[in-house]
Structure 1
Amino acid sequence: MDFTLDPRHDGLRRKVRAFVEEHILPLESDPASFNEHENIKMSLRDEVRAKAKAAGLWAPQMPQSRGGLGLPMVGQAVFYEEANRSIFGPSCFNCAAPDDGNMRTLEMVGTEAQKEKWLQPIIDGTVNSSFVMTEPHPGGGSDPSMIQTKAERYGDKWRITGRKWFISGAAVARHFILMARTDPNPQETRRHLTAFLFHAEQPGWHIVRRIRNMGPDEHGGVCELQFDGLEIPDENRLMEVGDGLRLTQIRLGPARLTHCMRWLGLAKRSMEIAQAYVSSREGFGIRLADRESVQLKLGEVAHDIQIGRLLVMHAAWKLDQGDKARQEVSSAKIHVADTLHKAVDTAIQLNGARGYSGDTVLEWIYRYARAARLVDGASEVHKMVLARSYAKLGSDYWQWG
């Protein structure tokens, strides 16, 4: 692949960087910018979103015909990395999870009527959305074949019963994509799931609790949901009956990679804060930046970030060629999750008490970074994916084609 950026993508990169510098970074230092869950207040977010739309920096993953920028995955990698130079950035440009993955999925598999009703409001920024899949034991987590939530058909409607948890964004979402079991036969592990769409105001379900975690919390947090008879018209079924597992694969592969794109932005931001501090701070008659031990730390993180960027770009390029890029996405997910944690941990260490305090965003990023090795498949699961791929391919695992 050619690593020369398309002129349009590079122009957008520069515009995003300038926009973040002028309109978003200053908000991080004002406590009034934050809600009670340590994210940008949604009213303030919407003000910044209006500016982003006016600047032509809105919904980079969506087609231009629907109000987005129509960027391929490679272009998104460039955009998202700059957007997440700020902890608030992705949400302000409408490229934050879970909306990002939900929009992409609906655009790929929805009917035209479903896109108009369920997708367009998310693109416009008038509603938030959520993807409802993970369940408590003995239900499905990393293994969707274990999903227990049932969808039973009654005429032209489906009745949903079951429980879900750690559902991102559920507390503020209005549009939901739900994964449920439509085939009770436990032997049919590939065609047992179906995806459905429902709205927050429909009866037959409720939020049991918003689950407290290390935080900071995304808009809508992570919630536990109970379904006790939610009725969904068949017209709000996504794809065909039994296509649910296929839909999860369509959604989660690119979503994992866009996580990595954003995490690289946070890793680079951590390095910026560290470099600025060690360049000015002196101890025992020498700048920290002139100490070999400090240089080794920063050099190692810079090295890991660049490896992560190459892994992400390779996976993005393969997705743009129509490849599923499963092992490339898993490799990127493992490495970039580790690198984000390493970058912010190093930055905190070099900043000392300042990094541990709330005087920088480093402690925010540090707590956020711990989730990176868990979300969209724990690192161990992705290593198992790579091991199975290697067992199947042997030396062809490293083929160039």
Structure 2
Amino acid sequence: MVTQRASDIAARVEDFVRTRIIPYEADPRRDHHGAPLDELVYEMRDLARAAGVLTPHILPDGTHLTQRETAVVLIASGLSPLGPLACNTMAPDEGNMYLIGHVANDDLKARFLTPLVEGRARSAFFMTEPAELGGAGSDPSMMITTCRRDGNHWVINGKKRFITGAQGASVGIVMAKSEEEDSKGGACMFLVDLPDPAIRIDDVPNTIDTSMPGSHADVTIDNLRVPADQLLGHAGDGFKYAQVRLSPARLSHCMRWLGGCIRAQEIAGDYANRRMGFGKPLIDHEGVGFMLAENMIDLKQAELMIDWCAGVLDTGSLGTVESSMAKVAVSEALMRIADRCVQVMGGTGVTDRTIVEQIFREVRAFRIYDGPTEVHKWSLAKKIKREWKHAHGG
């Protein structure tokens, strides 16, 4: 059951995105990767602030909506790829705000969380590492970036890859494996001010998705010195904190891109009802009408999966199993929906004359980030094996 406060917030967000933000989709202020420039981001955030829909999932007293409430709000923000940027519900900032809010002390919250909540800064989460170096990707335990104590500082060295939003970010969360004995080989997380000369952006490759400012950078960290009081939480607990962030963050991606696919279905449905072919509207041809009908089914199933997983997270569970199931089911369903919308619209569907083409590209990338489908299925299969062995005394 959606609460009245969540319904009210979501309605305001939806009206704002549809009336004020969708017109910005044609705005040319983009970098050479196609990502929105910060000038555009902060202009839209000023509008959101004035409309009372900036960071709508965090209440004025600093508390969060429940995950179930967050779902309806983030779905509404996702009706345009620019909506989450404007409303400050976009990755990686939304997940970083959640992590800082749950783990940081009051001083760190005041310094690093407040500007994010107020929409005055962007952030980056430095975890993934280059595959050719054997570094952490879907398996964080492979982390090769290191941190060690040096007096009242920690010194961090390593390389990171696909760091979303690093270019132009003001707040960073850097994850590194501790070399200290009392950390038992665990990881640490650090809050850092950006830019920092010890964090060098080596490359920002072009990628299939273009919704995130700063794109996905390759980074070298060379003797980064971080004051000890900027350690996030406790030394050695970084892998645990990663799960605090990643489980709800996976679900938030599902929420936002469900909103995008709702919009794609609206556009494709409108096209199919207006476009004539072989003497009747396309919608009256079973080959087209059935695709849109299948989309209706997938959209509802995705919505129900999100609501179920959100309910689990609201119990206080880390929800790693449930978020893996949701990530697989929803991302695959959304891919089918976006693909059908392109197919229904034919040649128009592969042009930039509508947002459908971008939504298709964004959802294709979503199937990979925050853990590709196959990794989550493998994790679920291991759970099945563990449960079988437990049941059979193995």
TM-score normalised per structure 2: 0.94
Which whole-Å CA distance do the structure 2 matches of 1:100 and 1:339 have between them? 23
- Please state how far the C-alpha of 1:83 moved relative to its aligned partner: 0.8
- Please state how far the C-alpha of 1:48 moved relative to its aligned partner: 2.3
Which whole-Å CA distance do the structure 1 matches of 2:135 and 2:183 have between them? 14
Q: How does 1:255-270 map to 2 (within 5 A)?
A: 255-270=249-264
SS at 1:178 equivalent:
strand
Which whole-Å CA distance do the structure 2 matches of 1:202 and 1:261 have between them? 33
In the alignment, structure 1 segments of 5+ residues that lack a partner are none
- Please state how far the C-alpha of 1:42 moved relative to its aligned partner: 2.6
- Please state how far the C-alpha of 1:226 moved relative to its aligned partner: 0.8
Q: Is the 8 A contact 2:148 2:180 kept in 1?
A: no
AA aligned to 2:52 is G
Give the match for residue 54 of structure 1: 50
- Please state how far the C-alpha of 1:393 moved relative to its aligned partner: 3.5
Q: Classify 1:64/1:147 alpha carbon distance in 2 versus 1 (closer, same or farther; 3 Å).
A: same
Is residue 357 of structure 2 the alignment partner of residue 360 of structure 1? no
Match of 1:24 among 15, 21, 25: 21
Which whole-Å CA distance do the structure 2 matches of 1:189 and 1:263 have between them? 38
- Please state how far the C-alpha of 1:60 moved relative to its aligned partner: 2.7
Q: How does 1:1-400 map to 2 (within 5 A)?
A: 4-28=1-25, 30-32=26-28, 34-66=30-62, 70-137=64-131, 138-183=134-179, 191-393=185-387
AA aligned to 1:105 is L
Q: Is the 8 A contact 2:202 2:220 kept in 1?
A: yes
Which whole-Å CA distance do the structure 2 matches of 1:365 and 1:63 have between them? 29
What percent identity do the matched residue pairs reach?
34
Cα deviation code 1:335-366 (max 9, x no counterpart): 11112221111111111111111111111112
Aligned residues: 389
Which whole-Å CA distance do the structure 1 matches of 2:325 and 2:122 have between them? 30
- Please state how far the C-alpha of 1:205 moved relative to its aligned partner: 2.3
Query: Runs of 4+ in structure 1 displaced over 4 angstroms?
Result: 188-191, 394-397
- Please state how far the C-alpha of 1:244 moved relative to its aligned partner: 0.5
- Please state how far the C-alpha of 1:212 moved relative to its aligned partner: 2.0
Q: Classify 1:363/1:377 alpha carbon distance in 2 versus 1 (closer, same or farther; 3 Å).
A: same
- Please state how far the C-alpha of 1:33 moved relative to its aligned partner: 5.0
- Please state how far the C-alpha of 1:207 moved relative to its aligned partner: 0.8
More deviation, 54-63/228-237 = 54-63
AA aligned to 1:65 is D
SS at 2:28 equivalent:
helix
Q: Is the 8 A contact 1:62 1:103 kept in 2?
A: no
Q: Is the 8 A contact 1:191 1:244 kept in 2?
A: no
In the alignment, structure 2 segments of 5+ residues that lack a partner are none
RMSD value over aligned CA atoms? 2.1
